[in-house]
A and B are shown apart, each in its own frame.
Chain A
Amino acid sequence: MSYALEINNLKKVYSGGTEALKGISLKVNEGDFYALLGPNGAGKSSTIGIIGTLVTKTAGNVKIFGIDIDEDVAIAKSMLGVVSQEINFSQFEKVIDIVTTQAGFYGIKKSLAKPKVENMLKRLSLWDKRNDQARTLSGGYKRRLMIAKALIHEPKLLILDEPTAGVDIELRREMWTFLKEINTNGTTIILTTHYLEEAEQLCRNIGIIDQGQIVIDTSMRDLLSKLDVQGFVLDLEEPLDKAPAIDNYSLRLDDPLTLVTAINKDSSINKLFDELNKLNIKVKSMRNESNRLEELFIEMIKK
């Protein structure tokens, strides 16, 4: 099996003594769409920083498509694109110059870069803003520019560190479609995000990192199948004074018209409705209380 990314026993101790990574190992298959999740300070950005050589590692090794970054860093980096968490382009340059210059940093001739840049800016709806100074762009367009920059040399592995942070829902969904498309076309993608719905929608495999260690490394399907309890919100037709007491079901009243329940995966939701009917409580509509992955994530981190 060919791995797009192979990390072995990666450690990072910062100069202040903080042990950000305690020997993590990870393998991401070629063509995968992989979610790397974890709470703030878990070590995600340190890991990405080391892969992109922005952070020096204390121990361990990193291979990109089998090439060790300590042995042939230029070749390894030529296959990598990184969308950092923070905006990292010159705010005073034009959009088109930023992307063209980035292509030049990868050794792409200006004559070859020109059509690539045009195509990339059009795909990311940035073409109309190509002559604008980067500082004048809105937050969403700045994020698109970050992605255009990271993709201009057509990397085989793309790492996105919270690419949709602070982006509105419409743009976020546009980005999802775009990322799915480039993944389908063969680019391996590693995504970190705080929007767990995003990871659930996009990623096939998932790693959870906590306190500098990988606590979960599995497929999204397997992880979600471990979910024991699922929360539902029931919108009621008539207001209630207090939550009804029904055996084997935990119920709470968020407001007089909203009943919230957590149902074990072995329990039947029909039975709950039967019991509510007996109490003459009519349910108008029902929805998931929160993202399923979010519940699991919190459970994992608590452990």
Chain B
Amino acid sequence: MEKPKKINIAITLWTLTSKEIRRFMRIWIQTLVPPAVTMSLYFVIFGSLIGPRIGSMDGFDYVQFMIPGLIMMSVITNSYANVVSSFYGVKFQKSIEELLISPMPNWTILLGFILGGVCRGVMVGIIVFGVSLFFYPDFNIVNLPLTILVLFLTAILFALMGFINAIFADSFDDISVIPTFVLTPLIYLGGVFYSINILPEIWRSVSLANPMLYVVNTFREGMLGISDVSISFSLSMIGLFIFLLTAASLYLLNKGIGIRE
């Protein structure tokens, strides 16, 4: 019998990634438009209406201070939501069998979903930045390479979290519990709207245990050049968590937990 050829992994990866991108582009009204609308409201209410009464934050106009935080908030929620809903969706519809029966290695399956989440997260980040320019047209990015690096690392990190959430999810409730009760409070308390320097000492210390603080502040360092935390420490922690979550995701996929009987 003729020996079968090795499969072309690059094509399998591209197929899955483009399928994921097609999925969120097909429903752009649900995926790309809402962050633009929601963030416009944040800019109008907190930036234009309340912002002038708040004054400056760490030496910047309040609206300017908020921009990096709101972009990060959108990137986090969208990269997470994309992977958790898409991967749980394929589990729910059983179309995950298409992937599991195919010769695609598990790491390709993981990477395909993560790239899909990263694409949506980054696209939404760019859209929100575009919206912010309507409210603060003079915005200048201080450190573009750092900004782009943190943008992508954050999208990867939260896409991985979404993937693990989807693996363990058994119902649609399970994919909304973590975003609603864990992610959202941590994001809101993670320095999106304020600098932890305005907090009393005890709450400042408590805030340092919030991982979102590091993500938001590292991004703010890239965009504005200010941060409440050490950038090298933050980048190391983001890198470490990406490594750990990737290893955990691959372990779960290889063991077939949540996807194979």
A interface residue numbers (CB < 8 A to B): 2, 14, 30, 49, 52-56, 65, 73-75, 77-80, 82, 84, 86-92, 97, 101-102, 104-109, 149, 156
Inter-subunit contact B15/A105 (CB<8 Å) = yes
Cβ contact of A79, chosen from B4, B6, B16, B256, cutoff 8 A? B4
In the complex, per-residue mask of B83-100: 1 if CB is within 8 Å of any chain A CB, else 0:
000000110011111111
Inter-subunit contact B100/A78 (CB<8 Å) = no
A15 to chain B: closest residue by CB: B261
Which segment, of B52-60, B102-110, B133-141, faces chain A? B102-110
- CB neighbours (8 Å) of B256 from chain A are 56
With an 8 A cutoff between CB atoms, is B14 at the interface? Answer: yes
- CB neighbours (8 Å) of B16 from chain A are 104-105
User: Closest approach, in angstroms, between the C-beta of A231 and any C-beta of chain B?
Assistant: 40
Q: Interface extent on B, as a size class?
A: 20 to 34
CA distance A262 to B183 in the complex (A): 71
Inter-subunit contact A88/B98 (CB<8 Å) = yes
CA distance A74 to B104 in the complex (A): 7
CA distance A91 to B14 in the complex (A): 21
With an 8 A cutoff between CB atoms, is B9 at the interface? Answer: yes
User: Closest approach, in angstroms, between the C-beta of A111 and any C-beta of chain B?
Assistant: 11
Cβ contact of B261, chosen from A49, A102, A149, cutoff 8 A? A49
- CB neighbours (8 Å) of B105 from chain A are 74
CA distance A52 to B96 in the complex (A): 12
In the complex, per-residue mask of B62-104: 1 if CB is within 8 Å of any chain A CB, else 0:
0000000000000000000000000001100111111111111
In the complex, per-residue mask of B106-120: 1 if CB is within 8 Å of any chain A CB, else 0:
000000000000000
A78 to chain B: closest residue by CB: B103
- CB neighbours (8 Å) of B98 from chain A are 88-89, 101-102, 105, 149
Q: Give the interface centre of A14, A77, A87 by most chain B CB atoms within 10 Å.
A: A77
CA distance A52 to B89 in the complex (A): 21
Inter-subunit contact B103/A77 (CB<8 Å) = yes
Inter-subunit contact B11/A53 (CB<8 Å) = no
A-B contact count (CB 8 A): 96
- CB neighbours (8 Å) of B184 from chain A are none
User: Closest approach, in angstroms, between the C-beta of B260 and any C-beta of chain A?
Assistant: 5
Q: Give the interface centre of B1, B98, B104 by most chain A CB atoms within 10 Å.
A: B98
- CB neighbours (8 Å) of A55 from chain B are 260-261
With an 8 A cutoff between CB atoms, is B7 at the interface? Answer: yes
Cβ contact of B102, chosen from A65, A77, A87, A92, cutoff 8 A? A77
Q: Give the interface centre of B11, B89, B104, B256 by most chain A CB atoms within 10 Å.
A: B11
Cβ contact of B103, chosen from A2, A91, A106, A109, cutoff 8 A? A106
- CB neighbours (8 Å) of B6 from chain A are 74-75
A74 to chain B: closest residue by CB: B103
Q: Can you list 26 A-B pairs, Cβ within 8 angstroms, ordered by A?
A: A52-B97, A52-B101, A54-B101, A55-B260, A55-B261, A56-B260, A65-B4, A74-B7, A74-B105, A78-B5, A82-B97, A87-B94, A89-B98, A90-B89, A90-B93, A90-B95, A102-B98, A104-B12, A104-B14, A105-B15, A105-B99, A106-B7, A107-B7, A107-B8, A107-B103, A109-B8
A12 to chain B: closest residue by CB: B261
Inter-subunit contact A82/B7 (CB<8 Å) = no
